[in-house]
């Protein structure tokens, strides 16, 4: 049943959990679920008594290319039939009910499903119909309930969105992307020595133009400028750009200084000694 949905273009994970849509109503929701599943690396879809029958052309239109998941989907008369070959079953359950069962967050369920997959066992997760959700008999088929932490004042979650959150957590549970990295691509992060070269260039030019002429305040001002450039990682390319900016501004100032010495719009008093260039 799950043999054909392992297309090379979807990078299937052999033992990924089965998504079981129980009595789904709208075919375009089924397609949107398949798309969300592909996003998160879930590839096994089962449909229990889809209201309008199966297959439905509409589903392919909203699947945005996750066709293999739809093609490999199996149809079942009952939840019991759909879970018969599985080892562990989770049921998504937005509202609290009087059932004594473990209740997991989506993240908690994803972590458990990863452990189950590592043991080469099969897990499935039940999603109820669009309006009513899973009924008590459906939930009695499950080992554990999954309740997403979401705004309790607005729990109306679209079916494909519910699948998306679970698929996202499934993928994330095995993902080790750091929460924050600097993307540098071809360019390299500059060494502190190169940053220092630039700060020296900048300070020299600021001395030259008179910006740092208040000697008592000078150390603090230089320190503030240093803090500004130390705040994030600066790349070598950015340092080259900054050197260029400072050099060009200084040249422009000196040229303007020559051209506009009689022009009140530019005060030559603020100019420092000229002729200092960055080595």
Angle of the 236-259 helix axis to the 192-209 helix axis, nearest 10 = 10
Separation CA 19–CA 33 (nearest Å): 9
Give least dist CB 33 to a copy of itself, A.
11
Annotate 230-244 with three-state secondary structure. HCCCCEHHHHHHHHH
The residue to which tokens 């240093």 are assigned = 226
14 is a contact residue toward a copy of itself (CB under 8 A): no
* Contact pick of 46, 59, 235, 250 for a copy of itself (by CB under 8 A): 235
215 is a contact residue toward a copy of itself (CB under 8 A): no
* Contact pick of 186, 192, 215, 275 for a copy of itself (by CB under 8 A): 186
220 is a contact residue toward a copy of itself (CB under 8 A): no
Residues 6+ apart with CB under 8 A from 8: none
Give the footprint of a copy of itself on residues 97-156 (CB under 8 A). Answer: 98-105, 107-108, 111-112, 144-145, 147-156
Give least dist CB 11 to a copy of itself, A.
4
8 A C-beta contact, residue 24 and residue 159 = yes
Query: At 264, is the secondary structure helix, strand, or coil?
Result: coil
Q: For residue 152, count other CB atoms closer than 10 A to its CB.
A: 8
Give least dist CB 133 to a copy of itself, A.
14
Quick one: residue 90, left, alpha or beta (phi over 0 = left, psi -120 to 50 = alpha)? Answer: beta
Quick one: residue 220, left, alpha or beta (phi over 0 = left, psi -120 to 50 = alpha)? Answer: alpha
* Contact pick of 95, 131, 180, 192 for a copy of itself (by CB under 8 A): 180
Stretch that binds a copy of itself, among 20-28, 50-58, 92-100, 209-217 (CB under 8 A): 92-100
* Contact pick of 18, 38, 89, 195 for a copy of itself (by CB under 8 A): 38
Residues that bind a copy of itself (CB under 8 A): 9-11, 32, 35-36, 38-41, 64-66, 96, 98-105, 107-108, 111-112, 144-145, 147-158, 160-161, 164-165, 168, 171-172, 175, 177-187, 232, 235, 237-238
């Amino acid at each position: 049943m799950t043999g054909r949905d392992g297309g090379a273009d979807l990078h299937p994970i052999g033992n990924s959990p089965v998504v079981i849509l129980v009595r789904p109503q709208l075919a375009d929701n089924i397609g949107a679920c398949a798309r969300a599943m592909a996003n998160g690396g879930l590839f096994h879809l089962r449909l229990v008594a889809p209201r309008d029958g199966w297959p439905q052309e509409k589903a392919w239109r909203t699947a945005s290319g996750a066709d293999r998941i739809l093609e490999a989907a199996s149809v079942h008369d009952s939840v019991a039939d759909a879970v018969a070959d599985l080892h562990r079953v989770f049921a998504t359950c937005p509202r609290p009910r009087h059932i004594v069962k473990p209740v997991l967050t989506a993240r908690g369920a994803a972590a458990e499903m990863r452990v189950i997959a590592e043991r080469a066992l099969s897990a499935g997760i039940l999603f109820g119909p669009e309006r009513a959700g899973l009924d008590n008999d459906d939930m009695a088929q499950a080992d554990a309930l999954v309740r997403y932490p979401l705004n309790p004042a607005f729990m109306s979650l679209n079916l494909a969105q519910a699948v998306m959150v679970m698929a996202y957590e499934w993928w994330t549970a095995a993902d080790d992307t750091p929460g924050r990295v600097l993307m540098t691509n071809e360019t390299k992060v500059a060494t502190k020595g190169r940053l220092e070269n630039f700060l020296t260039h900048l300070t020299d030019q600021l001395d030259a133009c008179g910006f740092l002429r208040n000697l008592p305040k000078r150390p603090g001002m230089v320190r503030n400028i240093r803090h500004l450039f130390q705040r994030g990682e600066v790349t070598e390319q950015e340092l080259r750009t900054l050197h260029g900016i400072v050099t060009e501004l200084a040249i422009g100032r000196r040229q303007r200084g020559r051209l506009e010495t009689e022009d009140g719009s530019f005060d030559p008093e603020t100019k420092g000694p000229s002729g200092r260039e960055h080595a």
